[in-house]
Chains A and B, each alone.
Chain A
């Protein structure tokens, strides 16, 4: 192969990037080793120094990798595959950040970056006793993340995926002609960002979510360090603040995702139980459980196993969800999972490694510990060489589970006395368990593709499909109800023992208020109209909605009561109550806006498909022709035209309301948009009018995006031929035409005598949309056995007819009809929904975040006071 001197490539910067990647990996490895030895011998300051330096070097390298990639994107260095794949010349500056984390490599880098930020804060603020063990685990996670960017081949096996490979070295494009061209860079433009992601949410949602993912790491490293040093309690106090920080940030990230889906993507809602959404919700649920058992531990002691289990599980579930979304295993089940980069094996190994470490640390018997390690390694070796991976994996999981239970029974400290039924700790524990269970159910449902991989053809034959949204809702509603009831009452219990009478006295008023207000809202919402006509499952759903509604109100009233009456309105101490109110409002808003979501666009088609089942009866598409005004919910809507701005095509809709005199008054204007990206296809962006009480959401499902300015509106289109009999109808775009009668100037007898001129007139009756009737009379003229062309123009309707043939044998006639171009009015097909009280959901989000922040600030203040 000849050497080509490519023109205009910037190779130095790529080499710098590579160097940073290798350096970050090596430094993280050194860090792990040195923190490990530092943790063994607290006095040896040499290890401490090495550990500190290496982690600093690692941090600088990670920032260096990020800076390098950003620099490349900013300067459009398309010689690099990642830059070419994710950006282009038209890209506005604010989306350069989005390009950064659109790809897998970039998002791993973002994750690693946040870890470095948090890791440095952690090691500067942490108690000296916990620094070495926590940071050793922390650095180990960084080793794994750094290796994700490595992109080195071991034989056929590729470890990681490198963001700095050159476009011409990307195996995907190896046989493309540009690889042989010296000057390929001169005209090359990047592929650009997915149009769905060209959105300001894409600039704020991923960084927040990944900060959330990173934040789960800190409780995890504390818990592992606790197992390792067999000190199960002292780590919990410093970790508690981090846990609630994680709950706050991860929660914000998830809700931003929901808001994005609602505002900018055409999901038709804020939550679709998509595997990708679930896999961020699950760690959050577990983290909330962890936070609450840690509070029990802090105030009263105990719940040791549960704190470790949940703090560890949350991060492991982040890893597992990384595996789900990045390995391509969700392929058929999720619209927005990443495509496979061949890192499936690597991701599985990482998840398993951390489970292995946890179990090893849990076992307090040297012999069992060593045997477990040896067996695990043997199984890994056997799996790689001989296969049977599924059986080995399941076997290993079983061994690990048995050892975990055994170690818990044998080595783990347990409380002697049982918690009282009238104690706060008991109900908080139950609450955490409910969160964990809810998370496990979601994980199980989301993992169906994984189970297909493991069990299909063994436990069952045909591949199982994903769980439906309705099933998710059905399963999660009871958990939500129990969680809300616990959120309502638990604060009124005291630790250890509570006077039952006092407790009942406290919650009675809130209970009565919740039932009274709840019933008066729920009965008209769910029982007056819908209930009697619905099926049995539907009835159960409605009952569960009602219960959820009342429990949410109960939770709001109870926590408001606790804040006002017991805390006397003090804000500083009310973090928990406020956050709980927010949580209840989120569920309330989600419930009402989803269960009472109304399709206001109505399909007027007469076709009935209800016989196919419930799922088929939803008619929600409305055809709106330019200039027409159609009723939609409480409004009348007019489509006024489209407008193209670059690749975005906006469709303008005016919404009218009738005033008292029945006159139409314009209420508001919406411009849903369809992006027409030449390289990536179309993407529909909804537009939503926000009111305090409800939202009106409109999105285009079908439209003609082309601008037909070049065609003259007055010209006639190609004619179409109709073969018909008397009383048949012909459909034009703007009228229905009936063949009313046919008359001739001659009788059959006269014609058979071969008279020279025959005139047959077809009398056509055209009825337009407004019911006006027009007549047309095209003539069939036969002279000396020749058909003379004759056109009949119906100017009022812009139609032209030629009656050109008679088929006497069939008794039919043939008519050609031409329509004017502007008869075919432009139209769009749209779906529109009304979401009632969705603002309660967003308000709840805000309140919950604020409450959590107040609680974190208060906890830090108290910790500081105690330290003095």
Chain B
């Protein structure tokens, strides 16, 4: 066997390792119902902020916690506790992705990604 073949085998082994672990470990986009069924698993929940209910944020009590109501993609509404300060332009968000776990009836998120159309292509010509 040539050395180049050994290298080839190593490459293939790494490739399989990567595919296998990423399939195992990567979390999936989901909704509140699935997150509630597996409270120990971390999920990415996609949804929309309920803008009619005010976002609660009192930095004097805890600057790393805010809470709000969100509809997931199936239309289920749950209270979300985000363990971060309130994101900028939160009220303008069009879609949010939360990363976290369900605890009882609340979703606890440690990470948030927002799509704000306003920053990129909102706005119409006003005369």
Using a CB–CB distance below 8 Å, which chain A residues touch chain B?
Answer: 78, 84-85, 167, 173, 176-178, 181, 184, 186-188, 191, 194-196, 331-332, 335, 339, 418-419, 421, 426, 430, 433, 437, 440-441, 444-445, 448, 460, 462-467, 471, 475, 603, 605, 607, 609, 612-613, 615-616, 618-623, 674, 679-684, 701-702, 827, 829, 831
CA distance A335 to B92 in the complex (A): 15
Chain A residues with CB under 8 Å of B86's CB are 701-702
- Could you pull out 25 A-B pairs where Cβ atoms are within 8 angstroms? A177-B127, A181-B127, A188-B126, A194-B119, A332-B115, A335-B113, A418-B4, A421-B3, A426-B3, A433-B7, A440-B15, A462-B34, A463-B28, A465-B44, A609-B83, A613-B101, A615-B110, A616-B108, A616-B110, A680-B119, A683-B88, A684-B88, A701-B85, A829-B59, A831-B85
Question: Do B118 and A682 touch across chains, with their CB atoms under 8 A apart?
Answer: no
Tell me which residues across on chain B come within 8 A of A827, comparing CB atoms. 59-60
Q: Is the CB of A623 within 8 A of B125?
A: no
With contacts A85-B121, A464-B26 known, is A612 near B103, CB below 8 A?
Answer: yes
Residues of B within 8 A of A460 (CB): 23
Q: How far is the CB of B49 from chain A (nearest CB, A)?
A: 15
- Choose from B22, B34, B99 the contact partner of A444 (Cβ within 8 Å): B22
The answer on a CB contact under 8 Å between B125 and A444 is no
Is B33's CB within 8 Å of the partner chain A?
no
**B 96-127 to A, binary, CB cutoff 8 A, 1 in contact else 0:** 01011101000010110101101111011111
Query: Which single residue of chain A is at the shortest CB-CB distance from B8?
Result: A433
Besides the contacts A418-B3, A609-B83, A615-B111, what 16 more A-B pairs have beta carbons closer than 8 Å? A332-B46, A433-B7, A463-B28, A463-B29, A464-B26, A465-B26, A465-B29, A605-B65, A620-B64, A623-B59, A680-B119, A681-B88, A681-B119, A682-B88, A684-B88, A701-B85
Which A residue's beta carbon lies closest to that of B31?
A462
Q: Which residues of A contact B103 (CB under 8 A)?
A: 612
The answer on a CB contact under 8 Å between A444 and B120 is no
Complex CA distance for A702 and B99, rounded to whole angstroms: 21
Are B63 and A623 interface neighbours, CB within 8 A?
yes
Using A464-B26, A464-B29 as known contacts, say yes or no to A167 and B63 having CB atoms under 8 A apart.
no
**Complex Cα gap A282–B101 (Å):** 33
Are B118's CB and A612's CB within 8 A? no
Q: Which of B64, B92, B124, B126 contacts A621 (CB 8 A)?
A: B64
5 closest A-B pairs (Cβ-Cβ)? Answer: A621-B63, A605-B62, A681-B89, A465-B44, A462-B28
Q: Which residues of B contact A462 (CB under 8 A)?
A: 28-30, 34
Contacts of A620 in B (CB 8 A): 64
Contacts of A465 in B (CB 8 A): 26-29, 44, 99
Cβ distance A247 to chain B, nearest Cβ, rounded Å: 23
Q: How far is the CA of A463 from the CA of B27 in the complex (A)?
A: 9
Contact between chains at B29 and A605 (CB < 8 Å): no
Give the contacting residue for B22; candidates A195, A467, A619; CB below 8 A.
A467
B61 to A, closest residue via Cβ:
A605
Chain A nearest CB, measured from B23 CB (Å): 8
CA distance A339 to B103 in the complex (A): 35
How far is it, in angstroms, between the C-alpha of A466 and the C-alpha of B27 when the chains are bound? 8
Smallest CB-CB separation from B11: which chain A residue? A437
Complex CA–CA separation, A448 to B22 (angstroms)? 10
Q: A620-B64, A621-B59 are in contact. Are A680 and B125 (CB under 8 A)?
A: no
